[in-house]
Amino acid sequence: MPKPTIRRYLKLLAPGTPLRAGVDRILHGRTGALIVLGNNQKVQQVSSGGFKIGVECTEQALRELAKLDGAIILSNDLSTIVAAGVHLVPAGDLPTAETGTRHRSADRTAQAAGVPVVTVSASMATVSVFLDGRRHLVESVTQVISRANQALATLSRVSSRLTDQLDQFTLLEIGEQVTLRDLTHVIHRLELTRRLSAEVDFLVELLGVEGRMVALQHSELANTFAGAADRLAEDYAQNLSDPSQFDLSKLANFSSEELFSGQLVAERLGFGQGANLEQGLESRGVRLLTDVGRLPSHLVSKLVDRYSLQELFGASVAVLMEIDGVGPMRARQIRDALLRISEGS
């Protein structure tokens, strides 16, 4: 069984999933429960007694079997209830900060067997997941929606600032004045936006069927910066001796403090240690032609492969018609796009 991640199991406990439906029934019934999410040799070693069940895991079955005194053990794919009424006896010397009997058993079983264990507390009306010596509280829909709304509001502000920054960056590109420092500033804001977007995505998954409205709002915001990272890479990787080094995904493990350092960002993207942030950079014009000029990607590729950005600005309709597949109408469309870009300056 692959090493589980807590995010995967929190998603499986999202509203609308069979596991969450069963847990909700147990909560409403005020019986409490101990559910082991997986079955392996180590689980068997810490299990004692109980009843072998081997039935489909449904919300009704979970609710009824939770009435038994003991744990419920599910198969690795969570589709089958393997056993119920099981007494869990993990080693008593495993460290735990929990005080309640059910929670202590869950924590130690998760550590001993390497699988998540869910507890449903009848007295506190809470659901927790234990994994790797840590307890993760399963938030209510109201709590997750509140977090999602806060994240959306923050994403809206950050993406708005990113849009303003890209507008200024466009002016620099048109005037051939882009420096490495300017590029790192844009990349910093873009990475912040990506991280916030990923957080909202995760919260939408936690909300399950309750996350439709949040997902729609997020989709609208995400469209404003979709593809921007790829287009920046297409534009500026050419400034490196090894263009493959320019990969914005390398910044994913940067701390917030590291991300604010233009020097560290430049170094990670392949510009070398101690890179001069004031050095000028050349753009191929992919982002300009795609985002500002609104030209289709296949046509943008033909243009940037044949001409530099400044050559394009000076190209006549007749010159543009020399490109394979570009007729009079398409050439005028390109000229109109270049005019839109120029007017933006």
- Backbone dihedral region for residue 280 (phi beyond 0: left; psi -120 to 50: alpha; all else: beta): beta
Please list the alpha-helical segments (H only) found in 66-140.
101-113
pLDDT above 70: residue 345: no
Of the pLDDT bands very low, low, confident and very high (cuts 50, 70, 90), residue 88 is very high
Global pTM reads 0.80
Of the pLDDT bands very low, low, confident and very high (cuts 50, 70, 90), residue 53 is very high
pLDDT above 70: residue 332: yes
Of the pLDDT bands very low, low, confident and very high (cuts 50, 70, 90), residue 326 is confident
* pLDDT of res. 4: 56
Q: What three-state secondary structure class fits 325?
A: coil
- Over the stretch 96-140, which tens digit does the pLDDT of each residue have? 999 889 999 999 999 999 999 999 998 888 999 999 999 999 998
* pLDDT of res. 288: 87
Of the pLDDT bands very low, low, confident and very high (cuts 50, 70, 90), residue 2 is very low
Of the pLDDT bands very low, low, confident and very high (cuts 50, 70, 90), residue 344 is low
The token pair at 78 is 């969570």
Query: For 200-221, what is the mean pLDDT?
Result: 93
Of the pLDDT bands very low, low, confident and very high (cuts 50, 70, 90), residue 85 is very high
pLDDT above 70: residue 3: no
Topology alike, domains 4-138 and 142-271? no
* pLDDT of res. 319: 87
* pLDDT of res. 185: 95
The fold adopted by the segment(s) 4-138 is YojJ-like (1 (3.40.1700)
- Over the stretch 266-312, which tens digit does the pLDDT of each residue have? 999 999 988 999 999 999 999 988 887 788 888 888 888 888 888 88
Beta bridge partners of 121: 126
pLDDT above 90: residue 201: yes
What residues does each domain of the chain span? 4-138, 142-271, 286-344
CATH of region 286-344 = 1.10.150.20
What's phi and psi for 17, nearest 5 deg?
-85, 155
The token pair at 224 is 């404003």
> Contact 34/106 with Cβ under 8 angstroms?
yes
pLDDT above 50: residue 162: yes
Q: Which CATH class is domain 142-271?
A: mainly alpha
- pLDDT > 70: percent of the chain: 98
Angle at 173 between CA 168 and CA 175, to 5 degrees: 100
Q: Who's near 155: CB < 8 A, 6+ residues apart?
A: 193, 196, 197, 200, 218, 221
* pLDDT of res. 123: 83
83 against 316, higher pLDDT: 83
**Residues 214, 203: Cα–Cα separation, whole Å:** 9
The rounded mean pLDDT for the chain is 91
Distances (CA, A) of 182 to 4, 74, 163, 229: 41, 54, 14, 15
